[in-house]
């Protein structure tokens, strides 16, 4: 008789454990980073972008932007995205960035977006920041982030939550903020870790790592 009563008890315990595990999984799902390869384990999902190379001005993007396997935020040591060693000629002042592929989102949802940044000898004139915009289902810009582009309802990076205002030389710091997507937005477009407004700073470097986009509402 004891065995008959023990079996329902065990089953009840298993059901309770399974229900708790399901609730925990559902809770954790809200904290998922929807940005693939945000920890920078190689260059999957990331490409180099910027103005056209001008060797006569000592400007070749592949010599300025590189994956750095020896520098990483946190303990995973998976690497980081580096921009540096900019030493240009003839007053040439380009922009250059690491760009992630477009990221699918929920229309009207609110997201926490963050990145960790480390710098060395970065001049005060430089702009070091994370930029992005929102796109509709037909791939049209709803908001952009490129300064001076009124047709894209641009976000001014000088007042952005995702600009490194410290510059100079500093250890890893987190740039973070929240943003609500437009009601017709289905993508975050042109997410870029970017540096501009430098002519000559051959010792200057910046590393970007641990990018996150998490839905919070």
**Each residue's pLDDT tens digit, 57-82:** 999 999 999 999 999 998 777 899 99
Name 107's Cβ contacts closer than 8 Å, sequence gap at least 6: 181, 182, 183, 184, 185, 186
CA angle 68, 62, 115 (to 5 degrees): 45
Q: Is 131:155 a contact under the CB 8 Å cutoff?
A: yes
Q: Are residues 14 and 115 in the same domain?
A: no
Q: What is the pLDDT of residue 39?
A: 94
pTM of the model: 0.81
C-alpha span between 181 and 187 (Å, rounded): 9
C-alpha span between 76 and 60 (Å, rounded): 30
Q: Are residues 2 and 80 in the same domain?
A: no
Q: Are residues 99 and 18 in the same domain?
A: no
CATH code (residue 53): 2.60.120.260
Question: Residue 13: phi, psi to the nearest 5?
Answer: -65, -40
Q: Which residue has the higher pLDDT, 61 or 23?
A: 61
Q: Are residues 23 and 123 in the same domain?
A: no
Q: Are residues 6 and 41 in the same domain?
A: no
Q: Are residues 144 and 70 in the same domain?
A: yes
Q: Are residues 112 and 184 in the same domain?
A: yes
Q: Is 145:132 a contact under the CB 8 Å cutoff?
A: yes
C-alpha span between 203 and 216 (Å, rounded): 39
Q: Is 38:1 a contact under the CB 8 Å cutoff?
A: no
C-alpha span between 47 and 100 (Å, rounded): 7
Burial code of 103-126, b = ≥16 C-beta within 10 A, e = fewer? bebeeeeebbbbbbbbbeebeeeb
Tell me how many domains the chain contains. 2
Mean pLDDT, rounded, of the chain: 83
Q: Is the pLDDT of residue 4 over 50?
A: no
- pLDDT tens for each residue of 135-186: 999 988 888 765 455 555 555 666 678 999 888 999 999 999 999 999 999 9
C-alpha span between 29 and 119 (Å, rounded): 33
Q: Are residues 21 and 48 in the same domain?
A: no
Find the mean pLDDT for residues 187-196.
92
Q: Are residues 149 and 207 in the same domain?
A: yes
Q: Are residues 11 and 114 in the same domain?
A: no
Q: Are residues 68 and 23 in the same domain?
A: no
Q: Is 206:36 a contact under the CB 8 Å cutoff?
A: no
66: Cα separation from own chain's centroid? 16
C-alpha span between 5 and 178 (Å, rounded): 53
Q: Are residues 4 and 42 in the same domain?
A: no
Paired tokens of 214: 């998490």
Q: What is the pLDDT of residue 77?
A: 76
Domain that holds residue 12: 1-30
């Amino acid at each position: 008789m004891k065995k008959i009563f023990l079996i329902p008890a065990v089953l009840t315990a298993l059901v309770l454990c399974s229900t708790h595990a399901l609730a925990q999984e559902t809770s954790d799902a809200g904290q998922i980073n929807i940005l693939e390869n945000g920890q920078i384990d190689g260059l999957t999902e990331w490409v180099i972008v910027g103005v056209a190379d001008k060797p006569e001005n000592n400007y070749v993007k592949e010599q300025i932007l590189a994956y750095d396997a020896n520098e990483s935020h946190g303990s995973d040591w998976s690497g980081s995205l580096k921009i540096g060693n900019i030493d240009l000629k003839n007053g040439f002042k380009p922009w250059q960035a690491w760009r992630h592929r477009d990221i699918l989102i929920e229309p009207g949802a609110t997201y926490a977006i963050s990145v960790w940044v480390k710098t060395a000898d970065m001049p005060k004139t430089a702009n070091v920041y994370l930029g992005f915009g929102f796109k509709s289902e037909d791939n049209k810009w709803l908001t952009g982030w490129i300064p001076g582009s009124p047709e894209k309802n641009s976000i001014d990076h000088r007042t952005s939550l995702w600009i490194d205002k410290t510059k100079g030389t500093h250890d890893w710091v987190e740039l973070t903020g929240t943003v609500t997507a437009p009601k017709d937005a289905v993508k975050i477009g042109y997410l870029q870790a970017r540096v501009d407004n430098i002519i000559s700073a051959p010792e200057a470097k910046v590393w970007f790592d641990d990018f996150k986009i998490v839905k919070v509402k």
